[in-house]
Structure 1
Amino acid sequence: MLLFAFLFSFLLDNNPLPKADSVLIIKQINISGNQKTKESIILRELDFGTGDTILKSEIDKKLDLTRRKLNNTNLFNSVELKTVEVAKNQISIDIKLMEQWYILGYPVFQIVDRNYAEWWQRGASLSRTTYGIDLLHGNFRGRAERINLRLETGFTQRLELGYRIPYINKAQKTGAGFSVTYIANKNLAFKSLNDTLYYFKNFEEILRKRLSAAIYLRKRYGFYDTHTLELRYNNNSIADTISNLNPNYFLDNRTTQRYFQLSYYFNYDFRDNVAYPLRGNRYELLLNKSGLLPNDDINQLELTAAYSLYKPISKKIYYGLYLKGKVSFPERQPFINTRGLGYFGDLVRGYELYVVDGSSFLLARNNLKFQLINSKIHLKFLKIKQFNTIPIGIYPNIFMDYGYVQNNFATENKSKLANRLIYGGGFGLDFVTYYNMVIRFSYVLNDKKERNFVFGIGREF
């Protein structure tokens, strides 16, 4: 008994209970500004609830994490949190929101090349653009549901319909969605040679048709992790002209490719801003199996993993690191399904004009940036509150990237960049503004001693 009493007192000494004056009790949470958004969607993102007890030393951290999560829902232009003392050691938390404009119908005009540098090299022709309209409701019924209809013509004809509901159960942990996409091309990249895409056009004939339909379930156990399971059906076809130009487009001189696809995607996202992060980290894992049935036209397995780190070095200097790797099997793959570096934003900066095909790759990107301006401009003459406050951020930066692509058939397409280390770097200027828009101007060079100016619109890696 004496031994037990001694151990109990020892544990108390090393894990002292918090003093009464060091804790706060949350008596009330007041939310304002959510004219459309349901309170349940907002409360799901809070690190605290009514009646919770919080250490005074942790309250600022809790508020900052909550502000971060509410911002990253992409439902609000601004989020403000503050505490109000209502009695001794008792507080209320006021959450003031400014909602975004959720119903958008805006014209689409974009290049079809992988980036503006490639588009410019190919003559900056308007024939290499698509145009149309994108109709979006980003907060349908106030439940963060998303409905999207996209109509495009020009270089590519596209019809796309998508729907997403973040939560289908009372626990607000399970979501679902579906999408249907039809795409037709009369101008098509049919092969890569010397690490460059080659195109063929025929305005009298559709060269490729793609139809895909997908349904998915998404599970969110905590605040920062999501698990997505998706089932997709793909039906692709090409004209005889394309199969003659490249018998490996679908392999074996095929003109059709039909298959089911099952994928699992894990995402842990602890970044302060999903569009342009300065702090936090992110883990991603994708396992994708193309070809589920015996009669499917493809049998391919792909594993992709990525890690991002964003860290302040000083008050206004920030470092960013992005690592990504992919392995896929078998090594012999259809051209349309072989994606190394140069596609979907996976590129070594300085190699914007190239593609490096292969079944597996590694990519490392480094960025060091300085926060020159972080401010807001208020347009008093504009009465629509969702648009009359413009956040402005300007970040000069320097960067350095490395990449490696494995391709056991590199001699077939005369690749000089596969199976060796490639690297590039440069410096640039990033402009960050509202609705998650990031505009970049960069001067880049690579290990081939090639230099170029690059313009881009998109998110941070």
Structure 2
Amino acid sequence: MVGGTEKSLRRVNVGVKAWQDNLTGRNDELYTDVSFGYTQKFVLGYTLPYIDRKLRHGIGFSASFSRNREINYISEENKQQFFRQDDFLRRQMAFGVSYTYRKAISTRHQAFLTYHSENVADTVARLNPNYLGEGRTAVHYAELVYRLDYIQADSWQYPLVGQSFRGEVSKAGLGPLNDIDFVKIRLKGAKYWQYAPKTYGAVSLLGQVKFPNDLPYAASRALGYGDDYLRGLEYYVVDGTAFFILKNTLRRELLNFKVRLPIVPKKFSNLPIRVLAKAYGDMGYGYSKLGLRGDLSNRMLYTAGLGLDVVSFYDTCIRFEYSINQLGEKGLFLHAKLDM
């Protein structure tokens, strides 16, 4: 079935996430994520942040496997189109190792080397021969990534004052493992400041570019995927090889209090809650060499809105946002991650 909606218990997923902090007493972490049902997933990872006495060098590894009965095989009119069937349509597997160097608390260097494998059913290749490129049903490639993180702010998860930066350069396609071959550069910077008591401003700029411009569909996802979206355009995607997003937000703290929780251990019994009202405006642009798949490609995009942020333990954030986009569409959106 292509498109449409279907209500069925066969599409239910059941899963569990688990992690063990400080597994060996060296602040290391073992984590796993397992899901069964309509979509199946297995993730296992381990990080050891420090392997030296000066606490500067760290290592990690990860392994993942997933298979899906539903797949986003193409985009039309800036909307993802899905195909589904009872048999599994896509299988993905990845194995990776990582290295971390942190000389100062505010700056972190990371390198990742990952092997990727993806297989799709023949039906997917017939529906979109460019899904993996050239009508292929399987690709295997290695990817090397270098990432630099810098943050100097009052909070790493929900900053109100300070600045942050992330730069990333990656190369997919190494040696004989080069079925997918591109170079990606991704930069993001954000500035946070206080205007007045309980009043805060923030601006962030994110940009990404991939070379070459004629990549398979699965490697050409730009705006609207993951966290790379304009607030108010959550239901749309722009496929291409380059994009930027500029976000501006003004926040005002309305409430700041604690709730005492019964039963739970005393250490966690006081639940801090902050509520902030906000106004925001976003703009962005997604570039496609062929200008395909919708009117939102290769043009400036604008959105704006009002919302509430509810912030609690470890600066976890629930966002309620009422947005309007340049298409004149309005909607209320709920998110569980920081928007900047």
TM-score tier by shorter-chain length is: over 0.9
3-state SS, counterpart of residue 349 of structure 1: coil
Letter in 2 for 1:153: F
Residue 458 (structure 1) aligns with: 337
- CA-CA distance at 1:149 after TM superposition: 1.1
Question: Distance in 2 between the 1:126 and 1:393 partners?
Answer: 38
Q: Map Cα deviations across residues 335-369 of structure 1 (whole Å, 9 max, x no partner).
A: 11112110111111111110011100011011101
3-state SS, counterpart of residue 210 of structure 1: strand
Residue 246 (structure 1) aligns with: 128
Question: Distance in 2 between the 1:281 and 1:341 partners?
Answer: 24
- CA-CA distance at 1:430 after TM superposition: 0.9
Q: CA contact under 8 A between 1:213 and 1:234: conserved in structure 2?
A: yes
Higher strand proportion: 2
Residue 276 (structure 1) aligns with: 158
Letter in 2 for 1:450: E
Residue 419 (structure 1) aligns with: 298
- CA-CA distance at 1:433 after TM superposition: 1.2
- CA-CA distance at 1:383 after TM superposition: 4.7
Aligned counterpart for 2:216 among listed residues 310, 314, 334: 334
Q: CA contact under 8 A between 2:109 and 2:149: conserved in structure 1?
A: yes
Q: Rg: which structure is higher?
A: 1
- CA-CA distance at 1:124 after TM superposition: 8.9
Aligned counterpart for 1:362 among listed residues 239, 244, 257: 244
Aligned counterpart for 1:403 among listed residues 281, 284, 296: 284
- CA-CA distance at 1:459 after TM superposition: 2.6
Question: Distance in 1 between the 2:242 and 2:24 partners?
Answer: 43
Mapping for residues 136-151 of structure 1, pairs under 5 Å: 136-151=19-34
3-state SS, counterpart of residue 354 of structure 1: coil
Q: CA contact under 8 A between 2:207 and 2:245: conserved in structure 1?
A: yes
- CA-CA distance at 1:386 after TM superposition: 3.8
Mapping for residues 383-402 of structure 1, pairs under 5 Å: 383-402=264-283
TM-score normalised per structure 1: 0.71
- CA-CA distance at 1:221 after TM superposition: 1.3
Question: Distance in 2 between the 1:214 and 1:284 partners?
Answer: 21
Question: Distance in 2 between the 1:154 and 1:333 partners?
Answer: 32
Q: Map Cα deviations across residues 141-187 of structure 1 (whole Å, 9 max, x no partner).
A: 34321110111123421000000011000110001100000010001
Residue 77 (structure 1) aligns with: none
Residue 169 (structure 1) aligns with: 52
3-state SS, counterpart of residue 371 of structure 1: strand
Q: Map Cα deviations across residues 13-41 of structure 1 (whole Å, 9 max, x no partner).
A: xxxxxxxxxxxxxxxxxxxxxxxxxxxxx
Question: Distance in 1 between the 2:224 and 2:151 partners?
Answer: 24
- CA-CA distance at 1:128 after TM superposition: 6.2
Structure 1: stretches of 5+ with no match in the other structure: 1-120
Residue 189 (structure 2) aligns with: 307
Q: CA contact under 8 A between 1:277 and 1:460: conserved in structure 2?
A: no
Residue 154 (structure 1) aligns with: 37
Identify if the C-alpha distance between structure 1 residues 141 and 375 changes in structure 2 by more than 3 Å, giving closer, same or farther: farther
Identify if the C-alpha distance between structure 1 residues 231 and 352 changes in structure 2 by more than 3 Å, giving closer, same or farther: same
Q: Map Cα deviations across residues 304-334 of structure 1 (whole Å, 9 max, x no partner).
A: 0010111111110001111010111010111
- CA-CA distance at 1:455 after TM superposition: 1.0
- CA-CA distance at 1:270 after TM superposition: 1.1
Question: Distance in 2 between the 1:210 and 1:174 partners?
Answer: 30
Residue 208 (structure 1) aligns with: 90
Residue 80 (structure 2) aligns with: 197
Tell me how many residue pairs correspond in the alignment: 337
Residue 112 (structure 2) aligns with: 230
Structure 2: stretches of 5+ with no match in the other structure: none
Question: Distance in 2 between the 1:125 and 1:197 partners?
Answer: 21
Letter in 2 for 1:250: L
Q: Map Cα deviations across residues 122-151 of structure 1 (whole Å, 9 max, x no partner).
A: 689877664310111133234321110111
Question: Distance in 2 between the 1:128 and 1:197 partners?
Answer: 19
Question: Distance in 2 between the 1:458 and 1:128 partners?
Answer: 25
Q: CA contact under 8 A between 2:260 and 2:271: conserved in structure 1?
A: yes
Residue 442 (structure 1) aligns with: 321
Identify if the C-alpha distance between structure 1 residues 129 and 351 changes in structure 2 by more than 3 Å, giving closer, same or farther: farther
Question: Distance in 1 between the 2:8 and 2:282 partners?
Answer: 30
Q: CA contact under 8 A between 2:157 and 2:314: conserved in structure 1?
A: no
Letter in 1 for 2:297: A
For the aligned residue pairs, the C-alpha RMSD in angstroms reads 1.7
